[in-house]
Amino acid sequence: MKKIVILLICFLLAGCDSNKGSITDSTEKEIFPVVDIYLDNAAAGNWKEVFEVLSGEALAEAKANSGRVKSGEKIVSKNLKLTPVCRDVAEVSADFTRASGGGFDRLAYNFRLKKYEDRWRIYKTTYGEYQHGELKFGQLPPETAAVIKTYIELPFNHKRADPHKYLSGKLLQDSQKAKLLPVDSKANKEQENIKTVVKAMDCLGLTGGYAVVRVSYDVIKDNTTYPVEMLVEALDVNGAWKICGMDVTKA
């Protein structure tokens, strides 16, 4: 029985690998319009059109969440990149900016698509990586440093009040979801008594509209200072720098 299972797995893997090159650049003309339909109509809230290009778990998630998603948004720019997976399966990386309520947000998604007869459909969506050039050492733009410093040093309630001004992508979405949770007044008061002071910023990598920055700052609570180190990722969102990633590396 084990031999049969192993042979079956090898057959499936070999079959997938041998057909990996079957998706060529010309296939973009078939696949990219599907992703365009999803992005443009999901932003506008046209869910009937969205459902038409989905299948599997992507369709189930869209139907479950469509009522909770804001509508009236518009995609103002996007970059799509196609990666073949195997025969009739492909992945598209999308880095796009959308306008909503007078502000802009930039997101990165990965879309998995499967070809059913003559139609490509998205069966899985996940957060992806932003598209940018090779990161090199460089001088951090003053406006980027200002956004990072200001946000880290903001009082807790100010961070909650206006995240759209400083954050983008998954960070912004997580912050907006947190605002919907019940407020713990005791925890809020404790947070307000905490002060943060940025001590230094070191640009580890920089390209046209993307930067990775090491930030050292102090957290001051009850007259005690705690040094913290964080990696911050920032990117250009329609002409304004915003934070898209924050990870504490030392505390």
Q: What is the mean pLDDT of residues 203-226?
A: 95
Q: How confident is the model at residue 197 (pLDDT cuts 50, 70, 90)?
A: very high
Q: What kind of architecture, by CATH, is found in domain 142-250?
A: Roll (3.10)
Q: Which residue intervals of the chain bear CATH 3.10.450.100? A: 2-127
Q: What is the mean pLDDT of residues 98-125?
A: 92
Q: How confident is the model at residue 23 (pLDDT cuts 50, 70, 90)?
A: low
CB 70 within 8 A of CB 51: no
CA separation, residue 222 to residues 86, 133, 191, 194, 199 (Å): 57, 44, 11, 8, 19
CB 85 within 8 A of CB 93: no
Indicate the fold that domain 2-127 takes in CATH: Nuclear Transport Factor 2; Chain: A, (3.10.450)
Q: What is the mean pLDDT of residues 175-202?
A: 78
Q: For 52-117, where are the E strands, in sequence order?
A: 74-86, 89-100, 103-116
Question: Which of these ranges, 10-24, 177-191, 211-225, has the smallest mean pLDDT?
Answer: 10-24
pLDDT exceeds cutoff 80 at 12: no
Per-residue pLDDT tens for 148-172?
A: 999 999 988 888 788 889 999 999 9
Residue that has been written with the tokens 């299948």 in this structure = 55
Average model confidence (pLDDT) across the chain: 87
- Residue 6 has a pLDDT of 41
Q: Which residue intervals of the chain bear CATH 3.10.450.50? A: 142-250
Give the global pTM: 0.83
